[in-house]
Amino acid sequence: MSYEIHNVAVIGSGPAGLTAAIYTARANLNPLCIEGTDAGGQLMTTTEVENFPGFENGIMGPVLMDTMKKQAERFGTKFISGDVAKVDFTRHPFILTVGKNEIITKSVIIATGATARYMGLESELKYRGRGVSACATCDGFFYKDKEVLVIGGGDSAMEEATFLTRFATKVSIVHRRNEFRASAIMQKRALSNPKIAVIWDTVLHEVLGNGTVTGAKLKNVKTNEITTIKCDGIFLAIGHDPNTKPFRGSIEIDDNGYIITKNHTQTSVKGVFAAGDVIDRRYKQAITAAGMGCMAALDAQHYLEEIESK
Please give the positions annotated as active site: 135, 138-139
- Give the DSSP per-residue string, 179-238: S--S-HHHHHHHHT-TTEEEE-SEEEEEEEESSSEEEEEEEETTT--EEEEE-SEEEE-S
Residues 118, 195: Cα–Cα separation, whole Å:
25
Residues 127, 286: Cα–Cα separation, whole Å:
22
Residues 139, 152: Cα–Cα separation, whole Å:
17
- Give the DSSP per-residue string, 228-265: EEE-SEEEE-S-EEES-GGGBTTB-B-TTSPBP-BTTT
